[in-house]
Amino acid sequence: MDISYMTLLGSEIKMLLPVALGFTAAKIGILNEKFSRELSRLLLNMLLPFYIFSAVCSVDRTQSSLKEIGTVALISLAAHALAAAVAFLTSVRKKGRDVKGIVRSCTIFRNMGFFGIPLLSDVFGAKGAFWAAINVVVYNVLFWTFGVFIFSRAGGNTKFEAKKVLLNPGIITCVIGLAVFFSGFHIYQPVMDAVNVIGDACTPISMILIGGILARLSFKELVSSLPVYHTALISLAVTPVVCMLVFRAVGLSAEYVALGTLIIALPSASNNVAIAERDGVNPKLTAEIVGVTVVLTLVTVPLISFLF
């Protein structure tokens, strides 16, 4: 199955340019640490709900596609479950609760929105965008429950706080969006257009935040951080191969095998950085991992595609 290198390169450039902007803003003093924390709060608490609602409502609900929606959602759930298994098994010996949690979250949760949607659209055509939208919904439900729990543990809270995990803007918006989706209610298009415009701001802002954090690191820190390259290896090489072998073994079609593999071969999600910055859970390490995986996918995704 072919993956257009130029489309992949274009996706990379779209991600790297806002990172470069954030890097420059931090270097000249515009994006300082205090502003970065406040921007993270704005992103997570106000802008992200619009992005999630937009993603949920963009899935085309028809009777003929309900079975396909269920199949793609199950593949996405299975891919995340396999990534979680790999993440927990390969991070057992990591020292530091915060490092262990960040490595696990960055291995499990990938950048479906900014990177996955154009990639799947290129590989699978029109249905690729449809499949990507379903995956964005699954990702957000998982990130705002399991992902929030991982970061809570990484921050030193060993108790399960149902209120923090379940009553946050991300999961509340998913529930509202799914209720609208399954009810078949049609939102007035100008209102939906406004929701889409606000939601579209999430990814570039999160990438700007990553650039700002990277600007505060030394080059020596970046190239000598073992957790970063360990996570990149597990995320971009080991996990996709495991997913591909499992999906083949259970007899999925070639297209569904490619789908399940590609969604877990993407770079780590920028949401990891935003929540790490908001909660003060080692945002520097998180930004390093996300930044490095963004660059390395330029090589790893085409290599993985040769195995299909």
Q: Is the separation of the CB atoms in 145 and 167 below 8 Å?
A: no
Give the C-alpha distances (Å, rounded to integers) separating 217 from 40, 210, 224: 18, 11, 12
Max CA pair span of the chain: 55
- Find which of 213-217, 231-235, 281-285 is predicted with most confidence, using mean pLDDT: 231-235
Average pLDDT over residues 261-282: 85
Could you tell me which residues come within 8 angstroms of residue 38 by beta carbon, excluding any fewer than 6 positions away?
A: none
**13 vs 287, more confident:** 287
The residue with greater pLDDT, 30 or 60, is: 30
Question: How many structural domains does the chain have?
Answer: 1
List the beta bridge partners of residue 110. 268
**pLDDT tens readout for residues 132-172:** 878 888 888 898 888 888 888 877 665 656 666 666 677 78
The CATH number given to whatever domain includes residue 43 is 1.20.1530.20
Predicted confidence at residue 126, as pLDDT, reads 67
From the number of C-beta atoms within 10 Å of its C-beta (0-12, 13-18, 19+), residue 135 rates as buried
Q: Could you give the percent of the chain with pLDDT greater than 90?
A: 18
- Count H helices, E strands: the chain? 18, 0
Is 110 strand, coil or helix? strand
Phi, psi of 110 (to 5 degrees): -115, 165
d(CA 133, CA 251): 24
- Pairwise CA distance, residues 31 & 25, whole Å: 5
Question: Looking at residue 120, what is its pLDDT?
Answer: 79
Taking the C-alpha atoms of residue 106 and residue 268, their distance in angstroms, rounded to an integer, is 5
The residues, ordered by sequence, that sit 6+ positions from 287 with a Cβ below 8 Å of its Cβ are 209, 210, 213, 214, 217, 273, 276
Q: What percent of the chain has pLDDT over 70?
A: 85
Residue 220 has pLDDT above 80, yes or no: no
Would you say residue 86 has pLDDT above 90? yes
Q: In the chain, what is the straight-line distance between the N-terminal and C-terminal CA atoms, in Å?
A: 6
Confidence tier at 224 by pLDDT (50, 70, 90): low
Q: Indicate the residue type of 98.
A: D
Query: How large is the average pLDDT for residues 65-85?
Result: 90
> Over 70: is that where the pLDDT of 104 sits?
yes
CA gap 36, 41 in Å, rounded? 9
Q: What is the dihedral of CA 248, 251, 256, 262, to 10 degrees?
A: -20
Phi/psi for 92 (5° steps) reads -60, -40
**Extended strands (E) in 85-242:** none
Q: What residue numbers bound the domain in which 209 lies?
A: 5-305
**Residue 225 pLDDT greater than 60, yes or no:** yes
Query: Tens digits of per-residue pLDDT, 12-37?
Result: 677 678 888 988 999 998 888 788 87
**CA–CA separation, 135 and 69 (whole Å):** 10
pLDDT at 8 over 70: no
Average pLDDT value over all residues in the chain? 81
pLDDT reading at 200 higher than 90: no
